[in-house]
Chain A
Amino acid sequence: MLLQIENLHKKFGGISAINGVSFGVEKGELSSIIGPNGAGKSTLFNLLTGYLPKDSGKVIFKGEEISNLPPYEICKRKIGRSFQLVSLFQRLPVFDNIRIAILAGKGLMLDFFKPARKMVREETERLLESIGLASKALTSAADLAHGEQRRLELGIALANKPELLFLDEPCSGLTVEESNIMIELIRKLAAEQELTVLLVEHKMDMVFSISRKIRVLHEGRLIFEGGPQEVKSSEIVQKVYLGEER
């Protein structure tokens, strides 16, 4: 197991956002978490990446307990994440968005006198190429179209060369066409870089086409785990989730 989650709990006031979630993620797995609004999907990601402190439970990555570490320490252990709402460095050009993420991923940020604009150029260009933003290198992140911002969001998450990548609704706000491009991109990058990907998504066709395994979260509990076909035919899942969608 690359990632092992054991009996994770998180309460906000009196509400249990995550209520005893346990599961394991195999290396190389491309899997999804689905669930209705408020099921606790984003909270789970925030717990796994150190943004929120857990109440109890364990998160073990490659044999090490990581649930008490701050985000920058978790990033160092080669775990990346993207956000549901694009979270970019708005004033900076696309090139520097990626360059800074690469520099930080390599731990080169505490260098005070070397000119940064001469550093990690080729790597940045390669990553921009792979997410299809090479022609936008000098545009400010704020000036990109939404679809491009989504790809930059993914690019920043990839910059520390993660082994495990959490993607929080990578297709949110995208058109069908753009979503298909994004799905292909994720599939391609995951295969090329031997990534383990865990994604949260609302678009069902995307979830079913991309994931080998699907986990269903409902009111802070994991209620089902299985392949796309099993999930589609599961009664309990239909009741809490797919039923509402139709």
Chain B
Amino acid sequence: MSEDRNSTFLSWRSGLALSLLLVIFYLLPLFLADNWLNLITEMLIMALAGAALNLLLGDCGIISFGHAGFFAVGAYTFGLLLYYRLASFGAAFLLAIAGVILFSLIVGWFLIRLVEIYFSLLCLAFSQVVWVIVSVWYSVTGGDDGLNGIPIPGLLFSAGGSYYFVLTVVGVCLLLLFLIRESPFGYSLHAIRDNRKRSGFIGINQKLHIYIAIVISGLFCGIAGILLVVLLHAAFPGYASLTKSGDFLFVCLLGGMYHFSGPIVGSFLYILLHFIIHRYTEYWPIFLGTGLTVIAIFFRGGVVGFAMEKYQSYLFRGRTRNASADREPA
């Protein structure tokens, strides 16, 4: 049956490519200087946050303007627990995850009652609440100076150490997100994205599914926040800012939100471009704005969508599941 060709997603070819990529990533610290290694660590963290957001954005068709809220809740819960020596590294990690889940459950309970622009703006509102709390509560969070000098175990203190830790955690999280996307639950999100009304009539409890998607998405975004604290040994109110939420959205659009690899590729490009352009000029937002305009007008499918359309006949013999997803349906 022709459907079999459809299952190229973990064919020997992509399996081989993935293993090779993993080996390269694990060997990178042998070749790269610390500052480059830190840059790649940052890319991995952004990739996780972007992929987490994309579970709502690309897979479920729901736009959140406030994912930085989840990111900051993870970062600050973790950072505060370590800063005040309230928990060991491992315990702080787990407690921060629990904190993000709790926050997502509360926020999600309100969010599922809203749709479209109201949903997006309520996400923004929640993230702004987090932002205000962390930026004015000087006695606890250090206010806009942030939390500096968060004690991170010696093993993870070096660029190489934090890189390996982040690589492993991001790898496991991306694998989980990928499995979720390809599971019946992931398919149900695609159904809700494409036709919310009909998805109810085929037996999907949309609100419940969206609620679960918000919690999963928030959880992984929060883990990304924790990882940034591991890398920088610090937490800042900027983690909860609207700009941060915008960055997450941007990497999804840049890479292509209808492909799992979209936000990952988008994050690598975004941070690399930011790094290069920042060397020459401080007017980075001009390039950001121009880039967004070009994508919105010419490359709706993002970098990955564009590449898939151009080269998929070379890469895959059959069509992939979302082959035509990058185009707007008629």
Chain A residues within CB distance 8 Å of chain B: 49-51, 70-72, 75-76, 80-81, 83, 87-93, 95-96, 99-101, 103-105, 107-119, 121, 125, 137-138, 140-143, 156-157, 159-160
Residues B183 and A113 in contact, CB atoms below 8 Å apart? yes
Residues of B within 8 A of A110 (CB): 184-185, 212
Minimal Cβ-Cβ distance residue in A for B200: A71
Chain A residues positioned under 8 Å from B2 (CB to CB)? 137-138
A91 and B194 in contact, given A109-B204, A109-B209 (Cβ under 8 angstroms): yes
- Cβ–Cβ contact A109 & B185, under 8 A: yes
Are the C-beta atoms of B3 and A88 separated by less than 8 Å? no
User: How many whole Å from A127's CB to the nearest CB in chain B?
Assistant: 13
How many angstroms between the C-alpha atoms of A159 and B198 in the bound complex? 13
How many residue pairs between the two chains, A and B, have CB atoms under 8 Å in the bound complex?
A: 147
Residues from chain B with Cβ under 8 Å of A93 in the complex: 6, 319, 321, 323
Query: Is A75 touching B183 in the complex (CB atoms < 8 A)?
Result: no
Q: B1-41 CB contact bits vs A (8 Å, 1 = yes)?
A: 11100110100000000000000000000000000000000
Could you tell me the distance between the alpha carbons of A61 and B245 in the complex, rounded to whole angstroms?
48
Contacts of A125 in B (CB 8 A): 1, 3
Counting CB contacts under 8 A, is B230 at the interface?
Answer: no
**A142 with B200, Cβ < 8 A, contacts A90-B195, A92-B194 known:** no
Task: Say whether B198 contacts A89, CB under 8 Å.
Answer: yes
| Shortest Cβ distance from B322 into A: residue | A91
Q: Nearest-CB distance from B261 to chain A (Å)? A: 17
Would you call B300 an interface residue if the criterion is a C-beta within 8 Å of the partner chain's C-beta atoms?
A: no
A100 touches B188 (CB 8 A): yes
What's the Cα separation between A137 and B7 when bound, in Å? 13
Which residues of chain B in 55-77 are interfacial with respect to chain A, using CB atoms and an 8 Å cutoff? none
CB under 8 Å from chain A, chain B span 170-190: 179-180, 182-188, 190
A137 / chain B contacts, CB cutoff of 8 Å: 2-3
A103 to chain B, nearest CB (A): 5
B3 contact set on A, CB distance < 8 A: 95, 121, 125, 137-138
Would you call B154 an interface residue if the criterion is a C-beta within 8 Å of the partner chain's C-beta atoms? no
CA–CA, A89 to B206, complex, Å? 15
Complex interface: chain B residues within 8 A of A156 (CB): 198, 202
Closest to A144 in B: B330
For the complex formed, measure the closest distance between the CB of A136 and the CB atoms of chain B, giving whole angstroms. Answer: 10
Per the bound structure, the CA–CA distance linking A90 and B325 in Å amounts to 9
User: Chain A nearest CB: distance from B27 CB in Å?
Assistant: 30
Alpha-carbon gap, A119 to B206, bound state (A) = 21
* Chain B interface residues (CB < 8 Å from chain A): 1-3, 6-7, 9, 179-180, 182-188, 190-191, 193-195, 197-206, 209, 212, 258, 318-319, 321-325, 329-330
**Which of A70, A115, A159 is B202 in contact with, Cβ under 8 Å?**
A159
**Contacting residues, chain A, for B191 (C-beta < 8 A):** 89, 92, 100, 104
Alpha-carbon separation in the docked complex, A87 to B324 (Å): 18
Is the Cβ of B194 less than 8 Å from the Cβ of A104? no
Q: A70-B200, A81-B201, A125-B3 are in contact. Are A116 and B183 (CB under 8 A)?
A: yes
- Closest residue of chain B to A77, judged by CB? B203
Interface centre among B182, B203, B209, B330 (most CB of A within 10 A): B203
With a CB–CB cut-off of 8 A, which chain B residues contact A113?
179-180, 183
Q: Is the CB of A91 within 8 A of B324?
A: yes
Q: Are A103 and B184 in contact (CB under 8 A)?
A: yes
CB of A112 within 8 A of CB of B180, answer yes
Q: How far is the CA of A51 from the CA of B206 in the complex (A)?
A: 13
Known A70-B200, A104-B203, A112-B183: A87·B7 in contact at CB below 8 Å: no
Contact assessment for A91 and B329 in the assembled complex, using a CB-CB cutoff below 8 Å: yes
Could you tell me if B180 and A109 are in contact, using CB atoms closer than 8 angstroms?
no
CB neighbours of B188 from chain A (8 A) = 100, 103-104, 109
Residues in A whose Cβ lies below 8 Å from that of B183: 111-116
Q: Which residue of A lies closest to B183 (CB)?
A: A112
The 10 closest A-B pairs by CB, nearest first: A142-B329, A90-B329, A71-B200, A89-B194, A75-B203, A104-B203, A140-B324, A101-B202, A109-B188, A87-B198
Is B324 touching A83 in the complex (CB atoms < 8 A)? Answer: no
By a CB distance below 8 angstroms, the chain B residues around A83 are 198
- Determine which of B185, B190, B319 lies in contact with A89 in the assembled complex, contact meaning CB atoms within 8 Å: B190
Cα–Cα distance between A110 and B185 once the two chains are bound (Å): 5
Beta-carbon nearest neighbor of A79 in chain B: B201
Q: Given A104-B204, A119-B184, do A138 and B9 touch, yes or no (CB 8 Å)?
A: no
Q: Which of A115, A121, A143 contacts B324 (CB 8 A)?
A: A143
**In the bound complex, CA of A89 to CA of B329 (Å):** 10
Chain B residue numbers with a CB within 8 Å of A114 are: 183-184
